[in-house]
């Protein structure tokens, strides 16, 4: 059995974003139930040891709100978090690692490009490599993350390449891992070795290719990129100058959007993650929310738990 906790579902900045006065952010300040922290999930196959998929800047708040991730009652220093699996090097995926200093052992699993980004940013040296191991993961290379004592976790992870783009803050500068973009954006297929049940985690995706459709068809569960409702929504709302595509994200709506692309693939449960505060599907009474729910999708509240 896999236990999955959605720690946060929002894109970078969260909902509300500190400096944003858009309708969604204003509404979320008035109605705390609409607030959402930045995207991350936690998974466990044994109910005792947990792995995070990405470490968001909101990690400290997310851990405080999630009792299974608290230290054991009788231990002075302890964490049930055995590892963190990173799918990209964006700030909203890696900044939470800085809140995991203080000497507890765990392992960071990431593509060599992302490990290089961490290595070349000296602030991440707060995670001493004697305590916090770095393990390189490869595209299409299945691995089983391990527990701190080296034993098997019972979780099988397959990272695969997804159409996307590199971290914004590296644009225009020398890329530490080289110019080849392979490994910038990973999707994950995560399976419980005991039952074979699996799900997909794809928090960034610029295009649903026919290969991706074949891969995810028939899955019991998918977490999928829900950054924007329409490609030009940041520009139309006066919030920014970039389209969703320019940021490496497919839109929910439109002929090639997520609703259409994943409509007939026999996926049992579809949950959006990485939802930007410009996206009106976050508002429960919006036409956008009705459309995604009619298409069988869910926007999760922080703390939502899924058993697979
Ligand atoms: Zn906003």
Total Cβ atoms within 10 A of residue 129: 11
Nearest 5°: phi and psi at 120? -85, -5
Vertex 149: Cα angle to 144 and 155 (nearest 5): 20
CA distance 39 to 43: 14
Q: What is the DSSP letter of 165?
A: -
**305-307 and 81-85 beta bridge pairing:** unpaired
**C-alpha 195 to ligand 1 mean position (Å):** 41
Q: How far apart are the CA of 280 and the centre of ligand 1, in A?
A: 10
**168 alpha carbon – ligand 1 mean position (Å):** 19
Residue 80 has, within 13 A of its CA and on its CB side, a CA count of 20
Query: Are 136 and 145 contacting, i.e. CB atoms less than 8 angstroms apart?
Result: no
> Cα of 86 to ligand 1 centre, how many Å?
26
Distance 27 CA to ligand 1 centre (A): 9
Q: Which of 16, 18, 35 is nearest to 26 (CA)?
A: 16
Query: How much distance in Å is there from the Cα of 20 to the middle of ligand 1?
Result: 4
Distance 236 CA to ligand 1 centre (A): 13
Q: Which pairs count as long-range contacts for 233-238, CB under 8 Å and 24+ apart, including other chains?
A: 233/278, 233/279, 234/276, 234/278, 237/22, 237/278
How much distance in Å is there from the Cα of 227 to the middle of ligand 1?
Answer: 12
- A 10 A CB-CB count for 302 gives 23
Distance separating alpha carbons of residues 261 and 160, to the nearest angstrom:
19
Query: Cα(14)–Cα(11) distance, rounded to whole angstroms?
Result: 6
Residue 16 alpha carbon to ligand 1 centre in Å: 6
Between CA 224 and CA 221 the distance in angstroms is: 10
* Structural domains of the chain, count: 1
pTM of this structure: 0.94
Three-state DSSP class for 224? strand
Calculate how far, in angstroms, residue 65's C-alpha sits from the geometric centre of ligand 1.
23
Q: Are 25 and 35 in contact (CB under 8 A)?
A: no
Q: What is the pLDDT along the chain (308 residues), one digit of tens a residue?
A: 999 999 999 999 999 999 999 999 999 999 999 999 999 999 999 999 999 999 999 999 999 999 999 999 999 999 999 999 999 999 999 999 999 998 899 999 999 999 999 999 999 999 999 999 999 999 999 999 999 899 999 999 999 999 876 655 555 555 554 545 566 789 999 999 999 999 999 999 999 999 999 999 999 999 999 999 998 888 888 888 888 888 888 999 999 999 999 999 999 999 999 999 999 999 999 999 999 999 999 999 999 999 99
Bridge-based pairing state of the strands 50-53 and 155-161: unpaired
**Structural domain boundaries enclosing 244:** 3-307
| Separation of alpha carbons 217 and 112, rounded Å | 29
CA of 26 to the centre of ligand 1 (A): 7
Q: Which CATH number covers residue 268?
A: 3.60.15.10
Distance 232 CA to ligand 1 centre (A): 15
Q: How far apart are CA 214 and CA 200, in angstroms?
A: 13
């Amino acid at each position: 059995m896999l236990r999955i906790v959605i720690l946060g579902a929002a894109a970078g900045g969260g909902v509300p974003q500190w400096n944003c006065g858009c309708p969604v952010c204003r509404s979320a300040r008035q109605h705390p139930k609409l607030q959402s922290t930045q995207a991350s999930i936690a998974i466990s196959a044994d109910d005792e040891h947990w792995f995070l998929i990405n470490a968001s800047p909101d990690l400290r708040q997310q851990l405080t709100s999630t009792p299974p991730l608290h230290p054991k009652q009788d231990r002075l220093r302890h964490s049930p978090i055995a590892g963190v699996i990173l799918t990209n090097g964006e700030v909203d995926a890696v900044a939470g690692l800085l809140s995991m200093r203080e000497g507890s052992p765990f392992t960071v699993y990431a593509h060599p490009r992302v490990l290089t980004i961490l290595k070349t940013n000296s602030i991440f040296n707060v995670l001493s490599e004697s305590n916090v191991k770095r393990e390189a993961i490869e595209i299409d290379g299945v691995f089983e993350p391990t527990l701190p004592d080296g034993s098997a976790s019972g979780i099988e992870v397959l990272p695969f390449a997804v159409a996307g783009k590199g971290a914004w803050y590296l644009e225009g500068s020398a890329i530490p891992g080289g110019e080849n973009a392979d490994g910038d954006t990973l999707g994950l297929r995560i399976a419980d070795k005991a039952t074979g049940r699996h799900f997909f985690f794809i928090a960034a995706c610029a295009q649903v290719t026919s290969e991706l459709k074949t891969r995810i068809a028939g899955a019991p569960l998918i977490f999928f990129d829900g950054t924007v409702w329409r490609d030009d929504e940041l520009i139309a709302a006066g919030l920014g100058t970039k389209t969703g595509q320019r940021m490496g994200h497919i839109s929910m709506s439109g002929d090639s959007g997520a609703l259409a692309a994943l409509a007939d693939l026999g996926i049992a449960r579809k949950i959006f993650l990485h939802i930007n505060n410009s996206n009106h599907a976050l508002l429960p009474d919006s036409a956008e929310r009705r459309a995604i729910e009619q298409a069988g999708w869910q926007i999760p509240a922080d703390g939502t738990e899924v058993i697979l």
